Structure 1
Amino acid sequence: MIIAGGGTGGHIFPAVAIAHALRKLQPGIDILFVGAKGKMEMEKVPQAGYEIKGLDIAGFNRSSLIKNIGLPFKLIKSFWQVRSIIKTFQPDAVIGVGGYSSFPVLRYAQAQGIATFIHEANSFAGKSNIMLGKKASKIFVATDGMEKFFPAEKIMITGNPVRQNIVNNIISRSEGIQFFGLEPAKKTVFVTGGSLGAKGINEAIDAGIAAFAQNNVQLIWQTGKPYADRASAIAVENKNIWANSFITQMEYAYAAADIVISRSGAMSVAELCVAKKPVIFVPFPFAAEDHQTANAQNLVNKQAGLMIKDSEAKEKLVAKAIALAGDEQQQNMLKGNIAKLAITNADEVVAKEILRLIS
């Protein structure tokens, strides 16, 4: 089996979850990942115990058109690399999880008559997945209403695969607090902008940083690389703040957290439902079709989360978090409602269906 894609944790972590489920159901299975050179999958996939091959490929750069000059050459080169990988590995099936490295792998596999599967995590499908969906054997989706993107007969609603260390999390709050060197008696806010960080959230937290200590609230702050140095300098001066660019053991952060501030990408939402935490969502405003706002609004409508626009985060986010930290009744309501939306076995459902269709 080849699993292709990556770029962000939202693509990588469900891919690894599917790989684990396949290996559990069929222990002798041979799994190879294919990703983009220089992207985080090249580090995270080997850490999870799988081999990965990197392609010389890049996505379309919307902010600087001049940077796209070499794109056609990279795409052609990546197809030659894919051809070599598939000829050598000879997969029974290829699974695409999104990210631009998945496109040439699935496209070539389809041309060779190899079974292909797509996992689309978002409520708005990516363009490459829409193109690939026409020839895919099966398309696994998180939500209903995806017939506008894919052939209805190929769709299977499975939800989004969540990392097993979060599904099976038995770490206590006190163990989580101890892991970050914080105080058990204080309310704890966990701030995460996803695997790459979130500028709007980081700047809002920075602007209101003094208010946390003033209100006896402590902070676990996952910043992403661009903001890491600034946040680390702040943490040195404030004992109530733990800051780092990335948290490998997210189960400890979820265990420690009384409240979470997060982007609302599909995988973040899926994990937070499983973690059963009161959440304030700050959707990434430039996501395709504004799908992060749609994801967050879906939970707000069910009283399973709160939402603040990225453009209003600097003025409102910290005050909202501190108000929620002091309101046990609202915390319990949000916790109870978000827990009802949790799907814990999507990886197994996807793996079983793939193995059934290729056997």
Structure 2
Amino acid sequence: MNFADALRRLEPTAEITALGTVRGLDTTLIPARGYPLELIPPVPLPRTLSRALLRTPGRLHHSVLAAAAVLDRVRAEVVVGFGGYVAMPAYLAARKQGLPIVIHEANARPGVANRLAARMTTHVFTASPNVRLAHATAIGIPLRPAIAGLDRPALRDAARQRFGLRPGGPVLMVTGGSQGAKAINAAVSGAASALRANGVQVLHITGPGHVVEVPDGDPADPPYVVIPYVDQMQYAYAAADFAICRSGAMTCAELAAVGLPAAYVPLPLRGGEQRLNAEPVVATGGALLVDDADLDPAWIETTLIPVLTDPERIAAMSGRASAAGAADADVVLARHVLTAVAERRGFAS
């Protein structure tokens, strides 16, 4: 959707149709952003030998036909894919119809659909130069303008007031992603007294459905603000000096783009994919990395608090994080797509 918004800004007459499935949040998020949505059957790839795996070729064929029908109906000139259940049928339908294919891979470890499609096209873009895909060019991840263009210092006072934080003093933002993270919630809340004693304010975004108990402090103590969810993250980023969070691809991209240093706690699943997402910015010195199993109140007290209370170190880490980020990936990708369309039109003529 961030890419689609950028394409529309560059070419207001462009007709954009989103292809999705009933799985995930496609039917909720895409119409809310104002784009027409066409649904095709999802084709998950079973990881074990089973009846479901044996049925996959037939299901894929059916989904490719559905995708091809959509491409015909909307008179598609290019297919832009980001991986996932919907991507494979779309790539195969586009190849069959001779349409240019543009791929973007956000994760450090590409999925099956993008690995296959990278053999079909030379228009391949990734979030990081560490991603191994044929013909790949690293451009970052398309971000919302509210994030990509965020001036944290200019918005800081208003953002802190928005959350009931003080104008001065370090602020730690805590989040486990949209659904929260029990391990992060427990570790930081367990260190609440130590954080307050060292003058650290906390903006703790728990995730819906999570309850975090924080001992009451003295009114003179730095605020420890607990909220379930933030729908405009630019304000949380502007209020904070440092973050502790999971290391999903979008989280890493957004924090680097706005220059917010972080302690990343990779989700200990998915084959270590989240660790790979965080490693580039960690290597620059713009972030810390801590294993989920090692995260506890003692780590917050002995390792994180000395960083939070060192303004010079935070400033240096912020600069290094910012240098590792990319704020214009949405526009870069949109320009490549428009070029691919122009080349096709020129060839057709």
TM norm structure 1 = 0.81
- The CA deviation at 1:249 is 0.7
Are residues 322 and 57 of structure 1, via their aligned partners in 2, closer, same or farther at CA, if it must alter by over 3 Å? same
Asked if 1 retains the 8 angstrom alpha-carbon contact of 2:63 and 2:89, the reply is: yes
On the 8 A contact 1:58/1:71 being kept in 2, the answer is no
Does the 8 A contact of 1:264 with 1:281 survive in 2? yes
Pairing 1:345–2:345 present = no
Indicate the residue corresponding to 1:113 in structure 2.
Answer: 98
Q: Is the 8 A contact 1:110 1:116 kept in 2?
A: yes
Aligned CA distance change for structure 1 residues 236 and 84 (closer, same or farther; 3 Å): farther
Q: Quote the offset at 1:68 in angstroms.
A: 6.0
Q: Please give the per-residue CA displacement for 1:224-276, whole angstroms capped at 9, x wherever unaligned.
A: 44xx3424xx37978622322x4221110100111111222332222111111
Could you say what secondary structure the match of 1:194 adopts?
A: coil
For structure 2, which runs of at least 5 residues remain unmatched after alignment? 218-222, 343-349
| Greater displacement, 342-351 / 206-215 | 206-215
Tell me which residue corresponds to 1:281: 264
Shift of 1:89: 1.5
Q: 1:241 aligns with which of 222, 225, 236?
A: 225
Q: Amino acid of the residue matched to residue 281 of structure 2?
A: L
Do 1:144 and 1:157's aligned partners in 2 also have CA atoms closer than 8 Å?
yes
2: CA distance, partners of 1:210 / 1:30: 55
The question of 1:308 aligning with 2:293 is answered no
CA drift of 1:211 comes to 3.9
1:161 maps to which of 139, 142, 153: 142
- Once residues 350 and 316 of structure 1 are traced to their aligned partners in structure 2, the CA distance between those partners, rounded to angstroms, is 43
Q: Quickly say closer, same or farther: Cα 1:316–1:164, change in 2 above 3 A.
A: farther
Establish whether residue 179 from structure 1 lines up as the match of residue 162 from structure 2.
yes
Q: Which amino acid aligns with 1:32?
A: T
TM-score (norm 2): 0.83
Task: List alignment gaps of at least 5 residues for structure 1.
Answer: 1-15
> Could you say which residue in structure 1 is the equivalent of 2:114?
129
Tell me what 2:86 maps to: 101
**Shift in alpha-carbon separation, 1:76–1:209, aligned structure 2, 3 A:** farther
What is aligned with 2:278? Answer: 296
Alignment of 1:11-50 (within 5 A): 16-50=1-35
SS at match of 1:182: coil
1:189 aligns with 2:172: yes
Q: 1:78–1:145: structure 2 CA closer, same or farther, 3 Å change rule?
A: same
Instruction: Give the secondary-structure state (helix, strand or coil) at the position aligned to 2:296.
Output: helix
- The answer to whether the Cα contact below 8 Å between 1:205 and 1:317 also exists between their aligned partners in 2 is no
